[in-house]
Amino acid sequence: MNAAKRQIALVGFLQAQNCTTIPAAWRHPDARHDVTSVGFYQHIAKVLERGLFDLGFFDDRLAMPDMFGGDHKHTVENGIRCVKLDAVTVLTTMGMATTKLGLGATYSTTYFPPFHIARVFSTLDHMTGGRAAWNVVTSVNDNEAKNMGLSQAPDHDTRYDQADEFMEIVHGHWDTWEEDAIVADRDSGLYAHGDKVHRLDHEGSHYRSRGPFTVPRTPQGHPVVIQAGQSGRGIEFAARWGELLFMANPDIGRAKENYVKVKEVIGAAGRDPEQVKIANLTFPVVGRTMAEAEDRRAAYDELPNLIDDLSLLSEGLNFDFSDKALDEPLSAEDVEAMTGIQGIRNQVIEVTGKQTPTLRDFVEVSGRGRLAHPVVGGPVELADYFEEWFTTPACDGFVIAGTHMPGAFEDFVDLVVPELQRRGLFRTEYSGNTLRDHLGLSQPQLGSWKR
């Protein structure tokens, strides 16, 4: 791609829940609480589309954060991500209120059959005229397993091995219908060419799926695949399948290193690194001026409770911290038993230099449950930040997370987007209609995913 035309990709990080990723979001004075209403989500979709975002995407978790103390009372009483709606259903209503905005949702390969997910997302791609994306996750904790019929989550690398086979099936089904299969010719009586619709007949180590698939080829060929693996195995998976990758790099130095590394892994997997975009997770706190933004941040820091941190640490690490004292070192067995998001555990060990950190170390270093590493500023400071990361390059775009809804997106769109546009870093209108058009991703060829 021509370097002069490279543009920032913007992704709105959405939750179909009672708060943003930060539980305190619902306590914010400007937060809307009508989070089970269609109007709430359609409003957010329109804000993002007004801001010319590439897409909005919903995260997902298949359980309430009730790992801490094995009890959900604290979860619902404190509003710690206790409401969680089905993302694709919500997304569909957002698609009806917009015409250009890309629409992504997270679905787990560990708990749904591949045929089902292939069908859900290809249907969404048809219903939105080519704006659908699927964020592929393997899930995190045992409470999800318990809700979905297993007693515990499969181990980390097994989940990814299974997910590889899952993706082969999903892509296989997506490629079942050749583009010109349907003729619907009344005169000859031919609806579709029998030899242009294929059966998959997959029999593997984890799955069997026969086909033929029941959804014709979609406007984007297939929905855009999002992935956010951060571990070695996760990055290997992302490099094979992902088209838009989310990273959570804490600083530009790390981001730059990882950007080069991940693009190399993509190349080594036989794919074009230009055809895979990397977006870094960012928490902006925006004001009209730096002073206003700092005041907003200070006010926000008053909102979280310690129980928010403890609850989300437990569910994220798949480890119950409820009988641990805040300032006692945990045992080596405890640290070993944290089988959830490894990145959190590794970061705490690395930053503290302790193999057995205390619970307080986990709270303070991870910042989980709080506004941990926000980018605070007025339009100029924020645009400076985005410009530096983008041009370094440390990423191709940003996953914009919100302090509260819908105000955080409204502020971003009204204050930051115009400054990025003024600098020529961001589009001033959509140049196409599909999510692939927005991201500069080409249409996938049949079978191009095969190694």
Contact residues for ligand FMN, defined by CB under 6 A = 59-61, 106, 137, 139-140, 228-231, 234, 246, 248, 281, 341-343, 399
Return d(Cα 226, Cα 55) in angstroms, integer: 11
Return d(Cα 123, Cα 336) in angstroms, integer: 42
Min dist. Cβ of residue 230 to ligand FMN (A): 4
**Residue 34 CB neighbour total at 10 angstroms:** 10
Min dist. Cβ of residue 257 to ligand FMN (A): 16
Please, which residue, 346 or 442, has the CB nearer to ligand FMN?
Answer: 346
b/e burial code for range 319-330 (CB count within 10 A of at least 16 → b) = bbbeebeeeebb
Residue 362, H or E segment: helix 359-366
Please, which residue, 248 or 265, has the CB nearer to ligand FMN?
Answer: 248
Please, which residue, 52 or 248, has the CB nearer to ligand FMN?
Answer: 248
Please, which residue, 161 or 292, has the CB nearer to ligand FMN?
Answer: 161
Contact 6, 397 (CB under 8 A): no
359-366 vs 306-317: helix crossing angle, rounded to 10 = 90
Please, which residue, 42 or 342, has the CB nearer to ligand FMN?
Answer: 342
DSSP 203-257: E-SS-EE----SSPPBTTBSPEEEE---SHHHHHHHHHH-SEEEE--SSHHHHHH
Please state, in angstroms and as integers, the Cα–Cα distance from residue 202 to each residue in 109, 120, 412, 447, following that order. 16, 19, 46, 15
Contact 197, 177 (CB under 8 A): yes
Secondary structure letter of residue 153 according to DSSP = P
Min dist. Cβ of residue 226 to ligand FMN (A): 9
Please, which residue, 49 or 59, has the CB nearer to ligand FMN?
Answer: 59
